């Protein structure tokens, strides 16, 4: 390896800061114990179209950070995601939203008296009160950790039907326990990070279940979505003919060449799947090999 080839002193001169940070996090000396690293998905490099003011094609709908496409290129630096979120939130939107609102006629400006705003505020306040009035024993952090374990075990880089179905069941049970056994400390009328974390964990549980249902629906292997059941084997004619190799991913563009947009149908109801076909006029779709 590099240490045997170049010597520990040479590696320290180049990467000592990285090795020191790794040891602080893992309590392991990477000069003597190999670092525990593994492949992971980077960025999807997608996002909604926005103009130079970060407004989408829907007037008044502004899109920030990773949700828009504005700073994406053929590839991107790993640290630019933080920059994009900070620059959009701190510097761009405070000016561009104000400019947009200034163009609206007084009668067309959003009002806090609108029925939609009143209902949204009522739901948020009711949710906060429900969390604070609970008599459970588990913290938001404990639910967050359990959620992470479920997603890691069953909806990670590789997933399969049995694991995804199990995850959906586990997430449903976790959501029910979250409603009945959550403990949030502090009060509403103070800066309370426990309330903030509890709200985010509730969102994460809902998002995790949606991710599992989407992965279960998409019966193919494509890009960062690898279903273990959908890879070529020696029984496939394409392998016997030498077109592909055993273990190559099996895409199903005839059935899944679409963008999936899941629509919230209400509390306790299954989300509705909306499909937008992917149509390429200049580029031919091809299977990416990770070998």
Residue 86: is its pLDDT beyond 50?
A: yes
pLDDT digits (tens, 9 = 90+) for 215-247: 999 999 987 789 999 999 999 998 999 888 898
183 Cβ contact list (under 8 Å, min separation 6): 134, 135, 136, 137, 138, 139
What pLDDT score was predicted for residue 1?
75
- The span from the CA of 266 to the CA of 285, in Å, is 36
Q: What are phi and psi of 177, to 5 degrees?
A: -65, -35
What mean pLDDT is reported for the chain? 86
pLDDT digits (tens, 9 = 90+) for 139-166: 999 999 999 999 999 999 899 999 999 9
Count Cβ atoms below 10 Å from residue 201 Cβ, excluding itself: 22
DSSP state for residue 273 in the 8-state scheme: E
From 76-80, 143-147, 206-210, the region with the lowest mean pLDDT:
76-80
If pLDDT is split at 50, 70 and 90, which confidence band does 74 have?
A: very low
Q: What is the pTM of this model?
A: 0.68
Domains of the chain: 2-103 (no CATH), 137-211 (1.20.58.100), 218-290 (no CATH)
d(CA 112, CA 191): 23
pLDDT higher than 80, residue 73: no
- β 272-277/226-227 pair status: unpaired
Q: What are the tens digits of pLDDT across the range 248-283? A: 889 999 999 998 999 988 877 889 999 999 888 877
Q: Which two tokens stand for residue 278?
A: 């992917």
More confident residue, 110 or 210: 210
């Amino acid at each position: 390896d590099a240490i045997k080839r170049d010597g520990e002193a040479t590696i320290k001169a180049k990467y000592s800061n990285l090795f020191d940070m790794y040891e602080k996090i893992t309590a392991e000396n990477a000069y003597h114990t190999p670092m525990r690293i593994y492949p992971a998905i980077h960025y999807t490099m997608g996002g909604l179209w926005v103009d130079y003011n970060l407004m989408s094609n829907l007037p008044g709908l502004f899109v920030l950070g990773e949700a828009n496409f504005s700073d994406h290129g053929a590839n991107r630096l790993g640290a630019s995601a933080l920059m994009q979120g900070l620059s959009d939130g701190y510097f761009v939107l405070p000016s561009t939203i104000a400019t947009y609102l200034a163009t609206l006629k007084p009668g067309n400006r959003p009002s806090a008296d609108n029925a939609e705003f009143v209902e949204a505020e009522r739901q948020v306040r009711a949710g906060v009160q429900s969390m604070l009035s609970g008599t459970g024993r588990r913290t938001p952090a404990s639910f967050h950790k359990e959620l992470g374990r479920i997603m890691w075990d069953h909806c990670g880089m590789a997933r399969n039907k049995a694991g995804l179905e199990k995850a959906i069941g586990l997430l449903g049970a976790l959501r029910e326990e979250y409603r009945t056994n959550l403990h949030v400390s502090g009060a509403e009328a103070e800066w309370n990070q426990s309330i903030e974390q509890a709200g985010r964990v509730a969102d994460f549980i809902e998002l995790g279940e949606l991710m599992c249902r989407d992965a279960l629906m998409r019966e193919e292997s494509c890009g960062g979505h690898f279903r273990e059941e959908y890879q070529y084997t020696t029984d496939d004619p394409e392998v016997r003919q030498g077109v592909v190799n055993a273990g190559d991913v099996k895409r199903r563009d005839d059935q899944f060449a679409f963008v999936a947009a899941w629509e919230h149908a209400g509390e306790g109801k299954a989300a509705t799947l909306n499909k937008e076909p992917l149509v390429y006029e200049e580029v031919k779709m091809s299977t990416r090999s990770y070998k």
